[in-house]
Structure formats: structure tokens, C-alpha cells
Amino acid sequence: MCGIVGITSFKEVTPRIISSLKKLEYRGYDSAGIASVSDGALQVTKSKGKLINLIEKLNQVSDANSYSYPSIAIGHTRWATHGNINSENAHPLTSENKVAVVHNGIIENYDSIKISLESEGYTFRSQTDTEVLPHLFMKYIKLGNNFLQAGRLVLKEIKGAFAFVAMSLDFPNELFVSRNSSPLAIGIGDKSNFVGSDAHSIDHLTQKIIYLEDGDHA
């Protein structure tokens, strides 16, 4: 179980995602990743090992492309429980390049959910329990639900100890967050809102913190 951050804003978010992930490093981790929406597309960068590896990769990506700066992003440091330590299993995990999710904890009933999603045509690219989350979001969005409705339907299906943050290209100004036995705090800022695994990870960005309780979503 390690660290989660997310930011929605009107300004560029990547430096703030990195600064928050740095504040979660003390918890220990084996890989790190970030997803953002830029120019109408999901951009995902992940790497094994220390955060500095991810930062170097992000610098290479931004040198090679002329993306506009993202104003929504999620970041993660992983402590693997299901699947090897490699960049495929690092978070964010995605579905159809449209939904991205970062997750801490364990989805206990992922096996049966995975079997039914595979029978519906979803392809799994990681060995993680987490990957059921982006595919479930995708499934419920395709059925015509908005992001909040989709998140609530996902919560009805999953069991376990978790905290997660989801984002979707179809709802590019929203994050869906939820916790059950893993910590998560929301920060309300001036034209920016934040979410992090603990208050410490976002208290350099805002002083207005809401601590979620088990079973909460937002």
C-alpha cells in the first residue's frame, strides 16, 4: 500500500503532482506513474524504481512532444501486491486509453470481476488486481452513466481494502475518489482541488483539508 495523488486545476498540474508524490516517498514504493489529459488525449508515463526515473521519463516525453500543459492529472507510487514490479503493472492502469485509475490496497474479488469483463471483451494488460477498476468504469460509462454514477456502480461491485482515484476522457474536468480502509484526503484550493493519501501530501498546496472516511466517495 503506498501513495495516491490527484489534481484538477486551471493551471499546469504536473509539477504539483510530482511535489505531492515526493512527499509520499517516505512510505516506500517500487514504481511510480502519472496520467494526465492533454490535447484531448490520455498521456500515461510510468517507470520502475525511484521517482527520479519517472521524472526523467516525463522530461524526455515533454521534450519530444509539444503537448499543452495538462490541468488534470493523477499520480501513484506502488507497493506491488498482485503482479511483478515492472512498468506494465505500475499505475495508472487504463481502459481503452480513455479511463485511468490509481489504487492503493487490494480488490479482493478482482478474479471473478476479471473473468466476467474478459467475457465482455475487455483485454487485460497487467497482472494487477487494480486493472478491473478502469475497465469497470469504462463499462458503466459506455452504458450511458455520468462519471459519478459510473463510480457508484463500480463501488457496488468491488470488495476489499482500497483507496482509488479515477479520471476519464469523457469527463475531463472530474476525478472520482473513494476510500475503504485505506487513507485518502481531499484538499480544496483556489481554482484547484487536490486529493492525496494523507494530508501531508497536499498541505503545501492548500490548508483546507477534508478527511474521507471509510465508505466515502467524492
Taking the complex as a whole, the smallest distance from the CB of residue 77 to ligand GLU amounts, in Å, to 7
Size of interface with ligand GLU, in residues (CB under 6 A): 16
Helices (H), the chain: 14-23, 51-64, 110-119, 132-142, 147-157
> According to the binding rule CB under 6 A, does residue 45 interact with ligand GLU?
no
Interface stretch with ligand GLU, choices 12-20, 46-54, 82-90, 165-173 (CB under 6 A): 82-90
Residue from 81, 84, 123, 173 in contact with ligand GLU (CB under 6 A): 81
Report the C-alpha gap between 207 and 210 in whole angstroms.
10
What are the backbone dihedrals phi and psi of residue 112, each rounded to the nearest 5 degrees, phi first? -70, -35
Taking the least distance from each CB to ligand GLU, the nearer of 127 and 192 is 127
> According to the binding rule CB under 6 A, does residue 2 interact with ligand GLU?
yes
| Nearest CA-CA partner of 171 in 126, 137, 130 | 137
Taking the CA of residue 43 as centre, how many other CA atoms within 13 Å lie in the half-sphere pointing to its CB?
Answer: 19
> According to the binding rule CB under 6 A, does residue 139 interact with ligand GLU?
no
Taking the least distance from each CB to ligand GLU, the nearer of 79 and 124 is 79
Q: Which of the residues 83 through 102 are near ligand GLU (CB under 6 A)? A: 83, 89
Interface stretch with ligand GLU, choices 62-70, 78-86, 134-142, 188-196 (CB under 6 A): 78-86
Report the C-alpha gap between 150 and 140 in whole angstroms.
5
Interface stretch with ligand GLU, choices 5-13, 17-25, 39-47, 125-133 (CB under 6 A): 125-133
Residue from 106, 158, 184, 202 in contact with ligand GLU (CB under 6 A): 106
Report the C-alpha gap between 170 and 166 in whole angstroms.
12
The answer to whether 138 and 96 are in contact (CB under 8 A) is yes
* Packed helices 132-142 and 147-157: angle between N→C axes, nearest 10 degrees: 130
> According to the binding rule CB under 6 A, does residue 27 interact with ligand GLU?
no
Characterize the bridge pairing of strands 171-180 and 41-48: unpaired
Chain residues binding ligand GLU by CB under 6 A are 1-2, 78-83, 89, 103-106, 128-130
